[in-house]
Amino acid sequence: MRYVDEYRQPELCQRLIAEIRQLATRSWTIMEVCGGQTHGLLRHGIDVALEGVVELIHGPGCPVCVTPLEAIDLAIDLARRPDVVLTSFGDMLRVPGSHESLLQVRATGGNVKIVYSPLDAVEYAASCPDQQVVFFAVGFETTTPATAVAVQQAGQLGLENFSLLVAHVRVLPAMEMLAASPGNTVQGFLGAGHVCTVAGYQCYQEFAQKYQLPVVVSGFEPADLLSGILECVRQLEQGEATVCNRYQRAALAAGNRQAEAIVDDVYEICDRSWRGLGNIPQGGLQLRGRWERFDARKRFALPELRQVESSPCPSGQVLAGKMKPRECEHFATTCTPESPLGAPMVSAEGACAAYYRYAKNAGDGACAQPIS
């Protein structure tokens, strides 16, 4: 398969591993900020293959995981209202709120409907004018264009029964928070390739220079990841800190300008609370004034919640890369995908879910399918 199989060739991957090992004169710490990359690194045994020369730590790269507790509670509030249908992607349903999840609410009569696209929610609202349809809009820059299009389409249709509960977040402010945090050990970043296909990567140049941390845009296949790590190690060894694109087949410096124009029309930057990480300045998006009639918070006069995590899940430590999932006392015992204590075990992109699937019965970081 073009653009897939050629990036999975074992010979190519082994050559990249050898180059990294030959180049590194010491151990370097690199963080990926994409859950898909986390799963790829573990699935293909890259963390094991580079043991001793590269320490891979996992950042807040899962949009489900960082959706704030208060947003989950507001979604639950809406789902319990008799005149509201709460629509959402399926992976949000099992994320714990303060006391329950959307899945539990649905099991006890709450009106929660799984959709595969925000446009499905618009279509449903158009077909059911007697119901208020709310779409739970979560995700990084990759999902914001679709929800922005949904708002524009609802506006064109004149729908008065469609709205968004917006919990969109932005990657770069979270990276800045991590880089500036006391005791930061990250020496380089793998940039999220899919985010850069939309938002581009020009914006990372100032970040790389300010914090003297290389940022290498990477894809998700093993050769993509290894190529990104190789470039990151090269820069670290030579004392450089620039932005480099190793996902040329999909990411452009300016990103997708048409998609960005749509997002800019519908959304504006705002501060946002991230689950486990707290409030991040400019860390999210909210609807612009001209579109605020589609804001579920305003339409239903939802309260401003500031919930405090009380779960035994140390999600903040995991999301900040300060704890590997297997270092948590609850991992694979009282916390499993079937009975999760926190969001990183729920989502298909969560770090805990990745370790549970690929490394739960092996040594730290070991993977069931190493590159061979």
Place of tokens 């402010």: 173
Amino acid 363: pLDDT: 45
The dihedrals phi and psi of 138, each to the nearest 5 degrees, come to -120, 165
Q: Within 10 A of 83 (CB to CB), how many other CB atoms are there?
A: 11
Domain ranges in the chain are 68-168+256-299, 315-359
- At 141-154, the pLDDT tens digits run 999 999 999 999 99
357 with 69: CB under 8 angstroms? Answer: no
Q: Which two tokens stand for residue 232?
A: 């990151």
- At 240-297, the pLDDT tens digits run 999 999 999 999 999 999 999 999 999 999 999 998 889 999 999 999 999 999 999 9
**Picking from 119-128, 210-219, 353-362, which range would have the lowest pLDDT averaged per residue?**
353-362
- Based on its alpha-carbon atoms, the radius of gyration of the chain, rounded to whole angstroms, reads 21
The residue-averaged pLDDT of 177-181 equals: 95
- Is 0.85 topped by the overall pTM? yes
Closest among 228, 295, 170, 235 to 46, alpha carbons compared:
228
- At 152-167, the pLDDT tens digits run 999 999 999 999 999 9
Considering the four listed CATH numbers 3.20.20.140, 3.40.50.11740, 3.40.50.970, 3.90.226.10, the one that applies to the domain covering 68-168+256-299 is: 3.40.50.11740
Q: What percent of the chain has pLDDT over 70?
A: 95
**Picking from 107-116, 205-214, 290-299, 331-340, which range would have the lowest pLDDT averaged per residue?**
331-340
Q: Evaluate if residue 362 carries a pLDDT over 60.
A: no
Q: Evaluate if residue 367 carries a pLDDT over 60.
A: no
Q: Evaluate if residue 308 carries a pLDDT over 70.
A: no
Confidence of residue 305 (pLDDT cuts 50, 70, 90): confident
Query: What is the pLDDT of the chain when averaged over all its residues?
Result: 93
Amino acid 307: pLDDT: 62
